[in-house]
Structure 1
């Protein structure tokens, strides 16, 4: 461990790693190799997610035959297309624009033939953007459940299990509507484990989970849901399309990029700078503040004892943590992780970090994340800010923004989940 603070500011290097991770997940780079030849019949493009508009543009730029379709993306994430209509809607809580878009997507793929091809462009954020309430439910019901799920501390897999069973399009239902057309789903993963059923709640893939599973999650986290929601789950009327369903036979699903690819791109930037990278995992989950404490312990062991890695090195990880809201501050899971990391490190010299969401939005704000330096806590105290109180109030954005340490990218037009890098100097 160094006896003095390092003279080199490592935050620019961390930012280059983050930018490389985002660049590696751009649809223009990773989508074209997966396109099939044009079909005998029509080609219909549909999609939902934060990256869906950029995916649509990449498809248009590399498609030789006739093309039509509609995709729905988050407000501010639209990309101009000529033949594919781009609709914008709300995320993470759905709105009427998303509902109307989902209805139009259903109409587009109804009544197709076996000669037709549907290309579904699916990425993170599609769960709220492709909002199609199940039988007996309203948009208000879906909004209430989404809000409650986001505050519950449930994992993304658990949240999407509930969402699938409250939808008329997710959990394979959209693919069933496309039958007998050919369906090719191109996925950009934003979920731990890269399971297609959890990306936008799996509108074009079979779902092995059940209404009973969804109801158990609601009860486990004591989520207050509207009566119509509980009734739908208890009755089993919200059941999804299961593996082996003949309407899904022959459907193709391709993962075009994922968190691991983004982390490998960041690792190469570190190597080029003479820093050894270690990818600890692309699917780390759990409470953001708990992961922050754990990662602080590893970083301290590296800095003080040279175990399990020798410094200088950078610890990279991805995945999606959760935040159980306790306070009323402005935050997101990445800044919650980073603030917890800062408190646990307590100004340890030679340790820098960046945590950010690759879609450019951490929580509900247009802020991707933030950076941490050895002077973070001292600067906060000088401003009269108590770091632990900020953490208790879930006020990560307020904390780092006051220091000028927020990471703001604007819409990145992709989404491979969270990016975390902790650099430990020798």
Structure 2
């Protein structure tokens, strides 16, 4: 039996975050010194920490620019760090994207561009297509975040309305060699969906983006519709010769983070099972499904015997109907708690490995068999909190929020459910 389940689960979450720290995964992927210049560019919540790791392990000269989220800046000597807004882009991100394109223009085949890409880069590199404004991009991001679209769908639309995403940054580097070092925050680890793939070929089309817009009834500006309908926003695909000299390495992923947590749990005598590293869907629905599995383990010892740990990752979505404070991990956890309905011996943690769940500087939260009882005792209706999309307000009131501060990395959501009691079998019949 785990003596302190909350501490145990929080330690697993922290171990998953530590596994994805750039200082641990960057060095082995650094290239040999090029004949020409080494230019470092990048975007994402981990990009500044990635840049620092490059500087610490690179012996030659280098220069560059990366854009990261406000609060995620770290000191670098030769690489300029720009801070910008996430998840809704701002002027700082726009200026950073413009300067980044200028920086990689006019390079030679002897030069190498080292691209440091991580989650959050889509919002941090807003460079609207001709005829669109930053305000158009801001409005689009807000609509995409609210409509329930998956991250894959969101990024498809973003790519085809951008001058830097969907391989356009890599095309601008031509004829220099491009080496991508990616920290994945997306289900399936598809490079095109990490920061909307600024330096990889895009297999999707304007028609795909238009279908997504129509599916979710997103009201685009007239110019944006024109870009998609005419195919003007088509991005470089795998046949584009400008992308022939691009090399991509996945240096940290949700799966590796989950495996690290599983190994730590096993060291402490708790068998761990990874249910999936790319689980998607409505956060509240995933909570109900995971509760069903946990109850089966707790009540019947199936499909695993307790005590055990159920781990999962991915990126769920939240269709916003209320006016609460989000985000998807606490929405999952509140739904899980409601579905478990006080099930004894079940404890859970859910959080975003970047330290920010939704719009809040809160990574996630913790719940156990007493969660609902404590809520009612404090005058909080759990069902109403869930209906109002107010997971953060709910868990904060109970003192069960998990706050990490900026983690300087991002390998998506982390969910851990501990079932610490074996089923009590009826032996009288």
**1:318 maps to 2:329:** no
Counterpart check, 1:224 vs 2:219: yes
Following the alignment from structure 1 to structure 2, what is the Cα–Cα distance between the partners of residues 48 and 9?
38
Task: Tell me which of 113, 116, 119 is aligned to 1:121.
Answer: 116
The whole-number CA distance in structure 2 between the counterparts of 1:287 and 1:227 is: 30
Q: Name 1:3's counterpart in structure 2.
A: none
Q: Which residue of 1 aligns with 2:187?
A: 192
Query: Partners of 1:225 and 1:249 in 2: how far apart?
Result: 34
Residue 112, structure 1, aligned to residue 107, structure 2: yes
Q: CA deviation at 1:64?
A: 0.9
Contact 2:2–2:8 (Cα < 8 Å) also in 1: no
Q: Could you tell me whether the CA contact under 8 Å between 2:2 and 2:420 is conserved in 1?
A: no
Of 396, 401, 420, 1:425 maps to 420
Deviations 1:135-182 (A, max 9, x none): 211101100101000001010000000000010011100000000001
- Alpha-carbon distance in structure 2 between the residues aligned to 1:125 and 1:8: 37
Query: Secondary structure of 2:187's partner?
Result: coil
- Higher mean C-alpha deviation, range 290-299 or range 264-273: 264-273
Pairwise CA distance, 1:9: 3.1
> Matches of 1:354 and 1:301 in 2, distance apart?
19
Shift of 1:7: 8.6
Equivalent residues in 2 for 1:63-78, closer than 5 Å: 63-78=58-73
**1:214 paired residue number:** 209
1:18 aligns with 2:50: no
* Alignment correspondent of 2:154: 159
Deviations 1:89-132 (A, max 9, x none): 00000000000000000010000000001000000000000111
Distance 1:311 1:224 in 2: 50
Q: Which residue of 1 aligns with 2:301?
A: 306
| 8 A Cα contact 1:135 1:238, kept in partner | no
Give me the whole-angstrom Cα distance separating, in 1, the residues matched to 2:19 and 2:3.
27
Distance 1:16 1:384 in 2: 31
Equivalent position to 1:357, from 339, 344, 352: 352
Cα RMSD for the two superposed structures: 0.8
SS at 1:204's partner residue? coil
1:317-363, Cα deviation, whole Å (9 max, x unpaired): 00000000010001100000000000000110000000000000000
Match of 1:56 among 44, 51, 55: 51
Q: Secondary structure, in 3 states, of the residue corresponding to 1:200?
A: coil
* Structure 1 equivalent of residue 263 of structure 2: 268
Distance in 2 of aligned mates of 1:102 and 1:218: 25
The DSSP-based 3-state class of the residue aligned with 2:330 is: helix
Superposition map of 1:372-391 within 5 A? 372-391=367-386
2:332 is aligned, of 316, 328, 337, to 337
Check if 1:416 corresponds to 2:402.
no
Q: Does 1:368 align with 2:351?
A: no
Unaligned runs of 5+ in 2: 422-429
**Corresponding position of 2:394:** 399
Gaps of 5+ in 1: 1-5
SS of equivalent to 1:193: helix
Matches of 2:3 and 2:33 in 1, distance apart? Answer: 53
> 1:29 corresponds to which residue?
24
CA distance in 2: counterparts of 1:244 and 1:276, whole angstroms? 46
**Equivalent position SS for 2:10:** helix
Q: Any conservation in 1 of the 2:182–2:191 contact (CA below 8 Å)?
A: yes
> What TM-score, normalized by structure 2, do the two folds share?
0.97
